[in-house]
Structures are given as C-alpha cells and as structure tokens.
C-alpha cells in the first residue's frame, strides 16, 4: 500500500494544474492591458511621421539653399499625390534652370504617411511670394496629442514644420 501512495504523490493534481493555468492567464491579461499593443503601434507610426517630416523638411531646406528648387504657390497631400521628387509629386516646386534632381539629391522619394488614409496623410502648402512652405501630419497616439498644440503652428490638431506654420488651414 505504501508503494501506491508514493506513486500518486509524484505528480500534480488536476486542480493544481488548473489553478496555475488560471494564474498565468490572469498575469498575461494584466501584462497585455499594461503594454497596450494598439497604443504602441500608434506611437510607432507617430515616430515614423515625425521622422518623415523632419527628413523632408531638411531636404527642402537644403534644396532651396543649394538653389536646386524654388518654391511655387502650391498645395498637396500624400493621399492623392505621387512620390516624385522632381516637382510633380505631392510636394510641388520648380527646378532651377539646368537642374534636374530636385529633391532627389537629398531623398529618394517623397514619404507617405504610414496609414495614408483619412486624416492620416501628409499635407504640404507653399507660397511663392514669401518663399515659405509648411508640412503637416496628424499624430494618432494619445501621448503625442500635446505635441501638435505646442509646435508653434496655427493648428492644435496637426504637427507642423516648415518656414511658415500658418499656410495650411488649421481645421482638421
């Protein structure tokens, strides 16, 4: 009889296994709530938006400084325009005489928003009279909402960069 009792004591009971599985399930659920994968994805897309607009802003600034392009009065957005860097894309400009690269000397193609649908498109406006331009993006992460209101632009619902942050209508 003692051999039988020892054999039964070696393993876990079904109740013990169910309790351990339930505890692991509760902990996994709590971790998912804390991590919030949807919010992490939104932050990742916002990071890409900020990087894209920064790179494009630098490319436009360099192209103007090196007299590759000149600003023309135009508007566009990544949702409807092409990615051409020679002035025919959603960022419009005119090439200086004898120049052919446009922004292609600084970036391979014009960026598009990671989702590029609805409000989530990059927008561009330029004014030839003042030679100024503005680039916009809507940030989706709740952690980045305050950034849009403190970027110095005219809209609290868009991230704005450029030389004149009042060119694009501030409505969403």
Q: What is the mean pLDDT of residues 27-48?
A: 87
pLDDT at 30: 83
Instruction: Identify which of 100, 101, 98, 102 has the alpha carbon closest to the alpha carbon of residue 71.
Output: 102
| Total-model pTM | 0.80
Please report the pLDDT score of residue 5 as a whole number: 55
Structure confidence by residue, pLDDT tens digits, 117-134: 989 999 999 999 999 999
21 is a domain residue: no
Domain that holds residue 104: 41-162
Q: Which residue has the tokens 């000397």?
A: 105
pLDDT confidence bin for 135, thresholds 50/70/90: very high
pLDDT of residue 29: 85
Domain assignment of residue 26, yes or no: no
Task: Tell me what pLDDT residue 9 has.
Answer: 63
Task: Tell me: pLDDT of 67 over 90.
Answer: yes
Which residues, in sequence order, are CB contacts of 126 under 8 Å at separation 6+?
71, 72, 73, 74, 75, 92, 93, 132, 133, 134, 167
Both tokens of 59, joined, read 């490319």
* Per-residue model confidence (pLDDT) at position 103: 94
What are the distances in angstroms from CA 127 to CA 35, 40, 82, 152?
A: 44, 37, 20, 18
Domain annotation covers residue 169: no
- CA dist 111 and 91 (Å) reads 10
- pLDDT value of residue 24: 95
How confident is the prediction for the chain on average, in pLDDT? 89
- Asked if the structure places residue 15 within a domain, the reply is no
Please check whether residue 63 is in contact with residue 103, taking contact to mean a CB–CB distance below 8 angstroms. yes
The answer as to whether 16 is a domain residue is no
pLDDT tens, 71-115? 999 999 999 989 999 988 999 999 998 988 899 999 999 999 999
Specify if 29 maps to a domain: no
In a domain, 98, yes or no: yes
Domain count for the chain, please give it. 1
Percent of the chain surpassing pLDDT 90: 63
Residue 131: the pLDDT is 92
């Amino acid at each position: 009889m003692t051999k039988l009792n020892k054999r039964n004591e070696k393993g876990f009971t079904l109740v013990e296994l169910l309790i351990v599985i339930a505890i692991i399930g509760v902990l996994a659920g709590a971790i998912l709530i804390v991590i919030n994968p949807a919010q992490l994805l939104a932050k990742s897309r916002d990071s890409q938006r900020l990087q894209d607009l920064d790179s494009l802003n630098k490319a436009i600034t360099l192209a103007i400084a090196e007299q590759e392009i000149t600003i023309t009065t135009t508007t566009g957005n990544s949702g409807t325009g092409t990615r051409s860097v020679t002035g025919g894309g959603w960022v419009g400009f005119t090439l200086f005489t004898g120049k052919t690269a446009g922004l292609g000397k600084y970036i391979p193609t014009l960026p598009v928003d990671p989702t590029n649908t609805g409000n989530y498109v990059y927008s561009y406006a330029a004014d030839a009279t003042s030679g100024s331009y503005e680039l916009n993006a809507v940030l989706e992460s709740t952690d980045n909402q305050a950034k849009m209101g403190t970027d110095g632009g005219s809209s609290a619902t868009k991230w704005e960069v450029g030389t004149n942050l009042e060119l694009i209508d501030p409505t969403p």
